[in-house]
Structure 1
């Protein structure tokens, strides 16, 4: 993928801008950290060159000044809310985050339980953290939040919350996921700091939408696609336009809540330091785009991927019709149509030639598209994977890297002993077979060495792949899209 983003420039500019924001206040800044900190793969896909851990690397440049406070909503503990990407509950993810921060040399000061409610699960969570040497604090539900500003900014509102004791100038407020109460925690801390005579500040760090590129720029449209389930809408910030006469992009939730937040600032500090929700942000990503065309192309591809994923989720029974409609609108705004990508066209061409059998295609780094069809030994995805490795290694496509004699015993194991009805090898199975062959076959070994070059390649399947194949493709770093169709069209239940 062509580089479109200068990551080194970003790290330097972003850390320096945060230092400047700390200095604007009484050497105390509460920074609300939105999005994913360790593994921002969305940003790395739409901004080629952005590293998934860029935000973490930026923080490490400030580690002597920074401490981390992780917040978690008590209701998410009680309900055992699960992170979709990791498959673990939010309370376990807090432990994962603590380990990850500390392993990288960042100081985790405490954990705050927001919307506190007395429940055995919550108390057990607090006790576990305390036994590990992590302090916990409680913030409570405030009647009338967020509209009853006078009550919120009073001893009956923020005043009831426990004051989180912090030691360093930069306090990073992060969480396992959205809805955890990061902003409320920051503002509660400002209330307590001002009561103690400390004129602390608040800022928000979110990569998207990027405020200083056009509203309908593909990078910002891709953000809307990524948050289709939240129904976020990018908008011109009217407060910024009125205050400065300049257009800036923000999103509906921050724009809607800004008058309330501004009123809270005025009650806490006497005067708000900000004239717009964009003012509250510290994001420098827009200044580090070095190839706009590359970022536009990457973002359009991301919108297509999100659209296909939603179509497949809908096919699998998810009630997400509104998300699909939103993504269709974004497809239109970005000038995209289903079936227009070379990787889609190639997969469909193979399927048509084989009487509608499942087919797959992979677009290699140089733009070449290789395909795979369903056969007696291999599924279409496995076939496409082998053909891609052959092409990358310069091996004749007609050459068998793994012999039928090596594949058949695996098929026997699957069908006769492991209860599988599908004798064809999945992608993980063919890679294991290829690895075994590589010990004695130099050609197979040469193909195996090409696996790293598949990272970032687009792959398309004419049917929904099994979860095994999806996981393998994901681990290889490839970007998979599937048509919303099952291999056996008359099936009411799709066995993943």
Structure 2
């Protein structure tokens, strides 16, 4: 797809900037790492050219200087909190993250359990870490946090926390999800380091909002859309404006907590190294946007996708964690309506003509490919086949998968696996295509086109099954659906 972001420049610039910050604090920096280190697909969607593992690649450039400390809230362990994207609990995700970090050569120093108050499941988890040979520490709930600064920055506050033993100049503090206590862990460490006479600093690394582009830039609005369930609001940083006379963008939680953090710095070290929340950040992403128009268009589409997802969640579950009115306001601010989702318009036109569900896929060059429902194929499977035909310059009337190859799968589904729907899903048609490719050159050519669908836009006029949605996701296709089921008679649930 069109590139709007220079990833190589970003990797170089970001790692250099963090090195500078380490040196500024006498060669010991606690870096609070926000967002996803692996698989940051939001960033890659709104900044085309940003690689999903860019933050990890950047960290690998510093791997000899860096160690990772993973933070998890004991309350989240006790409540069995689950990560929405992976469907696993936060404590299991800590173990997954350790494996992921170590597999790429990053050193994981320890795990810190925050908000510890003797929760039985947190104690069991700590025992499990011990058996696995992983060092762990406890940080406790501090009464009056975060407002009673004098109590927090004392031997009765941070002083009661375990001191996390670290051995490298850059300590990356990361967590399975938000609200884990990353910032408190960093500040607790600064308190202990200062008591030991060791100079150390704190910085924050988050990609969004991007501080040096306008407040209402679509990229920043798309971040608000992505966090519509958290009530995060992008704001002009008033502290930065007052200190430097420059307009920068931050978000409400960091701006609200800054006076407290500033007071803590002053109590810990006698003075604060920062005049604003923007000062605390080290993000260089805004300097690596090379085509603003491309990033604006991608971000507008992201806002529309978030809106459609919200509508679909509400249809499926009767509720949604996102604020639908906030998303509508963000669409207004970004200057987009659902009519700006071109694939949606095309898919709905096909549905009107045929009277049955349809899917449209927009290829990289803007060509619209459609798929309609037939006896053999669902509309999403048909659209995928038509897309690879077009990309492989294969004639329309050529059958990529013969009906003879499809029929046995239909028989298996309906007669042996209890399915009422004989039409093939996307994963099934791709398996049929791959088996046909063993004896068919045309099918082999079609298979080789699949990678070109990454980054393409798609829309379905009905809610798709989780299987179809996952197939689109794995192919890297950015999908939206109309919030309705295929059969009008089935209002509540669709297989």
**TM-score w.r.t. length of structure 1:** 0.98
Which residue number in structure 2 is paired with residue 76 of structure 1?
76
Partners of 2:314 and 2:121 in 1: how far apart? 34
Structure 1 residue 449: Cα displacement:
1.1
Which residue number in structure 2 is paired with residue 118 of structure 1?
118
- Residue 130 of structure 2 contacts residue 136 of structure 2 at CA under 8 Å; is this kept in 1? yes
Aligned residue for 1:20, secondary structure, equals: helix
Which residue number in structure 1 is paired with residue 471 of structure 2?
472
Asked if 1:188 is matched to 2:179, the reply is: no
Partners of 1:331 and 1:51 in 2: how far apart? 26
Structure 1 residue 321: Cα displacement:
7.5
| Superposition RMSD in Å | 1.1
Which residue number in structure 1 is paired with residue 351 of structure 2?
351
Which residue number in structure 2 is paired with residue 388 of structure 1?
387
Asked if 1:415 is matched to 2:414, the reply is: yes
Partners of 2:405 and 2:14 in 1: how far apart? 54
Structure 1 residue 436: Cα displacement:
1.6
Which residue number in structure 1 is paired with residue 219 of structure 2?
219
Provide, for residues 367-398 of structure 1, a one-character-per-residue CA deviation record: whole Å limited to 9, x for no partner: 10010011111001011111101111111122
Aligned residue for 1:209, secondary structure, equals: coil
Which residue number in structure 2 is paired with residue 436 of structure 1?
435
- Residue 377 of structure 1 contacts residue 424 of structure 1 at CA under 8 Å; is this kept in 2? yes
Which residue number in structure 2 is paired with residue 231 of structure 1?
231
Which residue number in structure 1 is paired with residue 401 of structure 2?
402
Task: Name the stretch that deviates more: 438-447 or 169-178.
Answer: 438-447
Judged with a 3 Å threshold, the aligned counterparts in structure 2 of structure 1 residues 472 and 395 are, in CA distance, closer, same or farther, namely same
Q: Superposed, which structure 2 residues align to 1:250-269 within 5 Å?
A: 250-269=250-269
Structure 1 residue 323: Cα displacement:
1.2
Partners of 1:87 and 1:93 in 2: how far apart? 9
Provide, for residues 293-345 of structure 1, a one-character-per-residue CA deviation record: whole Å limited to 9, x for no partner: 11111111111111111110011125337611111111111111113332111
Q: Superposed, which structure 2 residues align to 1:52-67 within 5 Å?
A: 52-67=52-67
Which residue number in structure 2 is paired with residue 175 of structure 1?
175
Unaligned runs of 5+ in 1: none
Structure 1 residue 489: Cα displacement:
2.3
Structure 1 residue 263: Cα displacement:
0.8
Partners of 2:255 and 2:268 in 1: how far apart? 20
- Residue 76 of structure 1 contacts residue 90 of structure 1 at CA under 8 Å; is this kept in 2? yes
Q: Superposed, which structure 2 residues align to 1:248-397 within 5 Å?
A: 248-320=248-320, 323-355=323-355, 357-397=356-396
- Residue 75 of structure 2 contacts residue 119 of structure 2 at CA under 8 Å; is this kept in 1? no
Which residue number in structure 1 is paired with residue 93 of structure 2?
93
Structure 1 residue 432: Cα displacement:
1.0
Aligned residue for 1:203, secondary structure, equals: strand
Which residue number in structure 1 is paired with residue 205 of structure 2?
205
Task: Name the stretch that deviates more: 397-406 or 104-113.
Answer: 397-406
Aligned residue for 2:340, secondary structure, equals: coil
Which residue number in structure 2 is paired with residue 449 of structure 1?
448
Unaligned runs of 5+ in 2: none
Partners of 2:331 and 2:397 in 1: how far apart? 38
- Residue 225 of structure 1 contacts residue 306 of structure 1 at CA under 8 Å; is this kept in 2? yes
- Residue 43 of structure 1 contacts residue 52 of structure 1 at CA under 8 Å; is this kept in 2? yes
Structure 1 residue 78: Cα displacement:
1.2
Structure 1 residue 493: Cα displacement:
2.1
Aligned residue for 2:198, secondary structure, equals: coil
- Residue 207 of structure 2 contacts residue 283 of structure 2 at CA under 8 Å; is this kept in 1? yes
Partners of 2:262 and 2:359 in 1: how far apart? 53
- Residue 342 of structure 1 contacts residue 369 of structure 1 at CA under 8 Å; is this kept in 2? no
Which residue number in structure 1 is paired with residue 494 of structure 2?
495
**TM-score w.r.t. length of structure 2:** 0.98
Partners of 2:428 and 2:154 in 1: how far apart? 62
- Residue 240 of structure 2 contacts residue 247 of structure 2 at CA under 8 Å; is this kept in 1? yes
What is the total number of aligned residue pairs between the two structures? 495
Aligned residue for 2:339, secondary structure, equals: coil
Provide, for residues 232-287 of structure 1, a one-character-per-residue CA deviation record: whole Å limited to 9, x for no partner: 11000000000000000000110011111111111111111111000000001101
Provide, for residues 105-136 of structure 1, a one-character-per-residue CA deviation record: whole Å limited to 9, x for no partner: 11111000000122332122111111222100
Partners of 1:214 and 1:107 in 2: how far apart? 37
Aligned residue for 2:43, secondary structure, equals: helix
- Residue 3 of structure 1 contacts residue 49 of structure 1 at CA under 8 Å; is this kept in 2? yes
- Residue 358 of structure 1 contacts residue 374 of structure 1 at CA under 8 Å; is this kept in 2? yes
Partners of 2:125 and 2:424 in 1: how far apart? 44
Judged with a 3 Å threshold, the aligned counterparts in structure 2 of structure 1 residues 337 and 89 are, in CA distance, closer, same or farther, namely same
Partners of 2:321 and 2:66 in 1: how far apart? 43
Structure 1 residue 494: Cα displacement:
1.5
Partners of 1:197 and 1:436 in 2: how far apart? 67
- Residue 363 of structure 2 contacts residue 453 of structure 2 at CA under 8 Å; is this kept in 1? yes
